Amino acid sequence: MPRRKTTNTTGIPRLADIPYHDAWVSYVCVNCKEPNLVRIGQILLDPRSAYTTQKWQCLHCGFMHSKESDLPFTNWPEGSTLSESIVTQRFWNALFVASTEQPQSYWKQCNVCGRVLPFHAFSKHSSWGPLQRQMECRGCKGAINAILNPERTDQQLFESSIRRRLGDLLLQGEDETISFDELFKRFNSRCFKTKQKLDINDRNSWAVDHILPSKYLYPLKVSNAALLSRRANENKRDRWPNEFYTNSELVELAKLTGADLHLLSSKRPVINTSIDVDACVTRVLAVHEQSNLWKRVSELKKMLISYGLINKLSQENKQLLGYEKESK
Ligand SMILES: [Zn+2]
Ligand SMILES: [Zn+2]
pLDDT digits (tens, 9 = 90+) for 176-216: 888 999 999 999 999 999 999 999 999 889 999 999 998 88
Label the pairing between strands 107-109 and 116-118.
Answer: antiparallel
- From ligand 1's centre to the CA of 72, what distance in Å? 10
- From ligand 2's centre to the CA of 143, what distance in Å? 9
- From ligand 1's centre to the CA of 31, what distance in Å? 5
Which percentage of the chain shows pLDDT scores above 90?
A: 55
Per-residue pLDDT of the chain (328 residues; tens, 9 = 90+): 444 445 556 788 999 899 999 999 999 999 999 999 999 999 999 998 899 999 999 999 999 999 999 999 999 999 999 999 999 999 999 999 999 999 999 999 999 999 999 999 999 888 788 899 999 999 999 888 877 766 666 666 667 777 777 788 788 778 888 899 999 999 999 999 999 999 999 988 999 999 999 888 899 999 999 999 998 998 888 889 998 999 999 999 999 999 999 999 998 889 888 888 888 888 877 776 656 677 778 888 888 888 888 888 888 888 888 876 544 4
Q: Which pLDDT tens digit goes with each residue over 247-258?
A: 999 999 999 999
- From ligand 1's centre to the CA of 97, what distance in Å? 19
Q: Kind and range of the H or E element at 100?
A: helix 86-100
C-alpha 24, offset from chain centre? 28
Q: Which pLDDT tens digit goes with each residue over 57-71?
A: 999 999 999 999 999
When computed from its CA atoms, the radius of gyration of the chain, rounded to whole angstroms, is 31
Question: What phi and psi values does residue 128 have, to the nearest 5 degrees?
Answer: -125, 105
State the angle between helix axes of 277-286 and 293-307 in degrees (0 to 180), rounded to the nearest 10. Answer: 170
Question: What phi and psi values does residue 118 have, to the nearest 5 degrees?
Answer: -65, 155
Amino acid letter for position 203: R
Strand residues in 177-240 grouped as ranges (E): 206-210, 225-229
Quote the pLDDT of residue 73: 96
Q: Bridge partners of 39?
A: 24
For the CA of 136, the nearest ligand: 2
- From ligand 1's centre to the CA of 57, what distance in Å? 8
